[in-house]
């Protein structure tokens, strides 16, 4: 039969999404295209121990239906950690566990937005969020990034020019894909604009625990006074991505709606994983575990930046992240990173073209994303050298070879 799909499906291009997640780099390719944490960040032995104990002592709780809000002890632990470490969580806020931060984004959009409503986001931004918004038939308006975060002038212009703006979606810390961190000054300005134009901010903060250098900027949520900042985070980058445990911390009115929407979406998040996360925080030292991940990423990021400085032509720009998992490389005016990424893949280096992260699909990007959390030191050295050679070739620059 001829299926009639919903309007919501119309704006979703399977190919664009799937390309990113399913890119199977050529045999023997060096992969800088991943969005994955390092497998070295998974506490395998600890999880094996906890898991064995749960099956011994609390198997029924781990395998039976549970409440939609999430495992109560884990919610307490998250709230305590958010409050102590990041000053996130006011008296009017509540927290629920979600099936990854992806679901937190999805539920927020579903709770707040009607078809045709506008979501403003950074340009470029996280493809998973952009597609979640597209899947509710929302209009996405991208606002250009600067070195210190989103352009505040352009943000105000977008707020002025668009009716029915419901949400400003931001990844203020170690942004995906750019690696940029928004300054405190801008965070305050953005919050003021949200107040002035009476819209909510969705602060997506999956990388905040991965700061390996520099001084932390306060979360926008910590500056929230009236509940307009909706905050989501995840255990994907600090314990396990495959276990799909994230959380949404927001005003209780929003959490009440999100909880009902979550219930009809997947009843509750896998309970064993919630217990694993909770018990890990209870029985082991999460901060010590995160320190190991940060040490690893600091070292890999430094190595990648060193190689970039050695091997890339000066006219190729790049960000210098203070945490997270990504470096953002920008070619000179007139170049298309999609063509370059394709060329790189022919030379067995996988990078993700910036076009993937554009709010306006079909536009050309001069930038591409490099991931430093998964490749080995050897691959970083070899891969960045090869990319440098290829850049010089493509840009027609001679000299300063390896």
For a second copy, the binding residues in 173-202 under the rule CB under 8 A are: 198, 200
For residues 7 and 376, which CB has a smaller minimum distance to a second copy in the complex?
Answer: 7
Chain residues 332-371 in contact with a second copy, contact rule CB under 8 A = none
135 binds a second copy (CB under 8 A): yes
163 binds a second copy (CB under 8 A): no
Choose the stretch contacting a second copy; rule: CB under 8 A; options: 65-73, 145-153, 212-220, 360-368: 65-73
Give the distance from CA 96 to its chain's centroid: 19
Q: Is 280 helix (H, G, I), strand (E, B) or coil?
A: helix
Q: How far is the CB of 105 from a second copy (least distance, A)?
A: 8
Say if residue 23 is preceded by a cis peptide, omega within 30 of 0.
Answer: no
Choose the stretch contacting a second copy; rule: CB under 8 A; options: 140-148, 171-179, 253-261, 325-333: 253-261
121 binds a second copy (CB under 8 A): no
Q: Pick from 273, 330, 337, 373: which binds a second copy (CB under 8 A)?
A: 273
The C-alpha angle 368, 318, 19, rounded to 5 degrees, equals: 15
Choose the stretch contacting a second copy; rule: CB under 8 A; options: 102-110, 307-315, 345-353, 394-402: 102-110
Q: How far apart are the first and last CA of the chain?
A: 59
33 binds a second copy (CB under 8 A): no
For residues 116 and 214, which CB has a smaller minimum distance to a second copy in the complex?
Answer: 116
25 binds a second copy (CB under 8 A): no
Nearest-angstrom CA–CA distance, 27 and 71: 42
For residues 100 and 383, which CB has a smaller minimum distance to a second copy in the complex?
Answer: 100
Quick one: DSSP state of residue 211?
B
Q: Could you tell me where the beta strands, DSSP code E, fall in 157-199?
A: 165-170
| Contact of 338 with 348, CB cutoff 8 Å | no
For residues 307 and 350, which CB has a smaller minimum distance to a second copy in the complex?
Answer: 350
Instruction: Identify the bridge partners of residue 353 per DSSP, sorted by sequence position.
Output: 368
Paired tokens of 15: 């190919």
| Contact of 217 with 82, CB cutoff 8 Å | no
Q: Pick from 31, 33, 77, 103: which binds a second copy (CB under 8 A)?
A: 103
251 binds a second copy (CB under 8 A): yes
Stated as kind and residue range, the H or E segment containing 103 is helix 100-112
80 binds a second copy (CB under 8 A): no
Q: How far is the CB of 119 from a second copy (least distance, A)?
A: 12
Nearest-angstrom CA–CA distance, 184 and 186: 5
For residues 82 and 272, which CB has a smaller minimum distance to a second copy in the complex?
Answer: 272
Nearest-angstrom CA–CA distance, 352 and 271: 34
330 binds a second copy (CB under 8 A): no
| Contact of 78 with 247, CB cutoff 8 Å | yes
Stated as kind and residue range, the H or E segment containing 139 is strand 139-146
For residues 5 and 399, which CB has a smaller minimum distance to a second copy in the complex?
Answer: 5
114 binds a second copy (CB under 8 A): yes
| Contact of 398 with 392, CB cutoff 8 Å | yes
Q: How far is the CB of 306 from a second copy (least distance, A)?
A: 27
For residues 79 and 265, which CB has a smaller minimum distance to a second copy in the complex?
Answer: 265
47 binds a second copy (CB under 8 A): yes
Residue listed under structure tokens 């039969």: 1
């Amino acid at each position: 039969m001829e299926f009639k799909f919903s309007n919501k499906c119309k704006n979703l291009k399977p190919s664009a999404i799937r390309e990113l997640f399913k890119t199977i780099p050529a045999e023997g390719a060096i992969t800088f295209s991943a969005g994955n944490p390092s497998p070295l960040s998974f506490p395998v032995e600890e999880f094996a121990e906890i898991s064995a104990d749960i099956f011994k002592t609390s198997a029924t709780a781990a395998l039976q239906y549970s409440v939609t809000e999430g495992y109560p002890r884990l919610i307490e632990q998250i709230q305590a950690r958010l409050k102590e470490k990041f000053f996130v969580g006011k008296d009017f806020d509540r927290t629920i566990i979600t099936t990854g931060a992806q679901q937190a984004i999805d539920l927020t959009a579903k709770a707040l937005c009607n078809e045709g409503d506008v979501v403003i986001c950074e340009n470029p931004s996280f493809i998973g969020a952009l597609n979640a918004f597209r899947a509710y038939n929302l209009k996405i308006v991208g606002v250009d990034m600067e070195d210190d975060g989103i352009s505040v002038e352009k943000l105000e212009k977008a707020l002025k020019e668009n009716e029915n703006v419901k949400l400003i979606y931001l990844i203020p810390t170690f942004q995906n894909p750019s690696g940029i961190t928004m300054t405190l000054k801008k965070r305050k300005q953005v919050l003021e604009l949200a107040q002035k134009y009476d819209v909510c901010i969705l602060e997506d903060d999956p990388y905040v625990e991965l700061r390996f250098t520099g001084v932390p900027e306060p979360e926008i949520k910590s500056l929230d006074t009236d509940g307009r900042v909706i905050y989501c985070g995840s255990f994907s980058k600090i314990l396990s991505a495959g276990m799909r445990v994230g959380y949404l911390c927001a005003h209780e009115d929003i959490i009440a709606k999100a909880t009902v929407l979550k219930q009809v979406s997947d009843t509750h998040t896998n309970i064993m994983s919630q217990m694993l996360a909770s018990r890990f925080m209870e029985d082991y030292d999460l901060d010590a575990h995160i320190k190991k991940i940060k040490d690893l990423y600091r070292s890999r990021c430094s190595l990648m930046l060193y190689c970039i400085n050695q091997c890339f032509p000066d006219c190729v720009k790049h960000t210098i992240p203070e945490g997270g998992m990504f470096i953002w490389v920008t070619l000179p005016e007139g170049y298309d990173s999609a063509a370059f990424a394709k060329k790189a893949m022919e030379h067995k280096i996988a990078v993700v073209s910036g076009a993937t992260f554009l709010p306006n699909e079909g536009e050309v990007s001069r930038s591409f994303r490099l991931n430093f959390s998964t490749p080995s030191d050897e691959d970083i050295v070899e891969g960045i050298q090869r990319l440098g050679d290829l850049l010089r070739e493509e840009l027609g620059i001679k000299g300063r070879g390896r």
